[in-house]
Amino acid sequence: MNVFFIENENPCRNSSGGAMTYINNLSLYLREHGIVPTLVGSGAVPQTDENPAPWNFNYLPVAKHGLSNIHYLIRVFRNHKRIPDSEDTLLHAQRAELALPFLLFHKKSKVLLTIHDPKTESMRRRKGRVLAWLYTHLLKWVMEHVDATIVVNQNFKRAFEKHFSIHRCRIETIPIGISTHLFYPSGRADARKVLQLPGERKIVAFIGRLEYPKNVEFIIRACALAQQEVPGLLLVVVGDGSQKDDLVRCAQEVNFEDILFLSELPYNLIPQVYNAADVLSLASFYEGSPTVIREAVACNLPVVTLAVGDAEEYLSDLDQCSVCEYDEKAFARGLVDALTRPNRPNYHGKNDWVSYKFMGDRTLKVYSSL
């Protein structure tokens, strides 16, 4: 079996983004079972025979530089023949549009789609109803023609079955998995020392892209409210993106000075962020199965989030965690509750069923059944 991941990622970025984390963890499992997949990405990778790339997959770039998503799709169309069209080839697309070149031109290969986020809501908010309508029909067509679709939470599956009336396609629900070898509880003082964070502050962490869908302005305003009851509160923002300047202005508008931008950190430092923080915040407009929530819980870090993806299902029985309505005051109350507890919770065992091994086992069974 020759597995190819189709996604616009450059492994040299060492990104903590959801799709890249998914590919890394699934590749680790597959490699442990004798399958070395290939990432079809974009961007050159400096490596030599003496210093090979440290990933769990091979890398096939369609361009030597980073690309926008639309230009990446065009390059995949142009380069689809570089991937053998055979019965042993399995093409695992991470977005619906990325399956198109292979559905149209590969006659023997198996094509699998993972939907991390249907994108219909984000398309409607950012591009308008017409493009959202077109993308919805594209998504439906792709799901009807791929060999199987993996969704990351049960709500997605129910929504597709209800609104798309799809009966001709196979949909499997497999939650996102994490590496518990990398994400586990460790000393807060040591983690703060590594990241050069103040030792006695109450730290609210955000980890993610600084883009509109992540709704970081909401978190800033909620932190400004929570700071009235927790004077030592510090918001640590880990990530980069086009909205950084807007976030700085938002903090100034609400007179919230206690915010620290750490930019995008190497992936191996992300566990230090969870262990250094007192609570993780998430206020995205839409998510699938947020990896950051699972990683935080693996590090015994409470989470305050809006009801996105499968957050409510996952956090409902966890002490000091809050799934809030879309209200800054309610979100601030959740932060205050977590920040004023005397002891850090113990979530031991919660991540057993969402380890990368659980995800990999179920995904490999889907691969083998195609």
- What's the CATH code of the domain at 365? 3.40.50.2000
pLDDT tens track for 319-357: 999 999 999 999 999 999 999 998 899 987 766 667 889
For 160, the token pair is 């597709």
Evaluate if residue 46 carries a pLDDT over 80: no
Cα(136)–Cα(224) distance, integer angstroms:
38
- On whether residue 286 sits in a domain, the answer given is yes
* Residues 332 and 242 reside in one and the same domain: yes
* Residues 134 and 255 reside in one and the same domain: no
Domain range for 68 is 2-177+355-369
Q: Which comes out higher in pLDDT, residue 265 or 206?
A: 206
* Residues 34 and 170 reside in one and the same domain: yes
Quote the pLDDT of residue 15: 59
- On whether residue 183 sits in a domain, the answer given is no
* Residues 102 and 193 reside in one and the same domain: no
Cα(218)–Cα(338) distance, integer angstroms:
18
* Residues 169 and 222 reside in one and the same domain: no
Beta carbons of 294 and 178 less than 8 angstroms apart: yes
* Residues 210 and 231 reside in one and the same domain: yes
- Local structure of 12: helix, strand or coil: helix
Beta strands in the chain (DSSP E): 2-6, 38-41, 58-61, 89-93, 110-115, 148-151, 171-173, 202-207, 233-238, 259-263, 279-282, 303-306, 322-324
* Residues 244 and 130 reside in one and the same domain: no
* Residues 269 and 323 reside in one and the same domain: yes
- On whether residue 182 sits in a domain, the answer given is no
* Residues 128 and 201 reside in one and the same domain: no
Beta carbons of 356 and 28 less than 8 angstroms apart: yes
Query: Which residues are CB-neighbours of 15 under 8 A, at least 6 positions away?
Result: 9, 21, 264, 267
- On whether residue 201 sits in a domain, the answer given is yes
* Residues 71 and 171 reside in one and the same domain: yes
- On whether residue 277 sits in a domain, the answer given is yes
The stretch 168-194 carries a mean pLDDT of: 90
Cα(238)–Cα(207) distance, integer angstroms:
5
Cα(257)–Cα(88) distance, integer angstroms:
56
* Residues 209 and 229 reside in one and the same domain: yes
Evaluate if residue 47 carries a pLDDT over 70: no
The single residue listed with the structure tokens 């690309």 is 67
* Residues 166 and 243 reside in one and the same domain: no
The stretch 200-208 carries a mean pLDDT of: 96
The stretch 201-215 carries a mean pLDDT of: 95
Alpha-carbon torsion, ordered 341, 239, 316, 174, to 10 deg: -150
pLDDT tens track for 59-101: 999 998 888 999 999 999 999 999 999 999 999 999 999 999 9
Evaluate if residue 131 carries a pLDDT over 50: yes
- On whether residue 82 sits in a domain, the answer given is yes
Instruction: Give the type of residue at 136.
Output: T
Beta carbons of 188 and 219 less than 8 angstroms apart: no
Q: Buried b vs exposed e over 181-201: b needs ≥16 C-beta within 10 Å?
A: ebbebbebeebbeebebeeeb
What global pTM score does this model have? 0.85
Q: Buried b vs exposed e over 125-159: b needs ≥16 C-beta within 10 Å?
A: eeeeeeebeebbeebbebbeebbbbbbbbebbbee
- On whether residue 48 sits in a domain, the answer given is yes
Number of domains in the chain: 2
Quote the pLDDT of residue 44: 79
**DSSP β-bridge partners for residue 260:** 236
